[in-house]
């Protein structure tokens, strides 16, 4: 199973590497107030992916924190049951 996981990771890496090699053409990204940014297409795609990732984490972080606080408060209220022992 470990080899299958490594093979899967290698395939994903080589597919992304081939994507990066095939998309090295410069593109113009038109920003606000007439500013433009010229960069390789793969850099634009990668940076938009990273920005989306950070935006998703920033949106979910307060929800994760509140759920964690609620779970900790619930754990304090409900003590855990002692383990069941079999035998005499």
pLDDT digits (tens, 9 = 90+) for 55-75: 999 999 999 999 999 988 887
pLDDT at 28 over 70: yes
Residues of the domain holding 49: 8-63
Distances (CA, A) of 17 to 7, 14, 22, 40, 79: 15, 5, 9, 14, 52
Structure tokens at 74: 């619930």
Residue 3 lies in a domain: no
Residue 29 in domain: yes
Q: For residue 73, how far is the Cα from the chain centroid?
A: 28
Please check whether residue 2 lies inside any domain of the structure: no
70 domain-assigned: no
Q: How many domains does the structure of the chain reveal?
A: 1
Nearest to 40 by CA among 29, 49, 30: 29
In a domain, 18, yes or no: yes
Q: Please determine, for residue 21, whether its predicted confidence score (pLDDT) is greater than 80.
A: yes
- Would you say residue 79 has pLDDT above 70? no
Is 26 part of any domain?
A: yes
Question: Is 82 part of any domain?
Answer: no
Mean pLDDT of the chain: 86
Is pTM, for the whole model, over 0.75?
no
């Amino acid at each position: 199973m470990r080899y299958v996981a490594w093979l899967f990771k290698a395939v994903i890496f080589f597919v992304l590497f081939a994507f990066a090699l095939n998309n090295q053409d410069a593109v113009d990204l038109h920003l606000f107030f007439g500013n433009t940014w010229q960069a390789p297409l793969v850099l634009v795609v990668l940076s938009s992916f990273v920005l989306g990732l950070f935006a998703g984490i920033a949106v979910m972080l307060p929800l994760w924190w509140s759920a964690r606080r609620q779970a900790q408060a619930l754990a304090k209220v409900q003590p855990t049951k002692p383990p069941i022992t079999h035998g005499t």
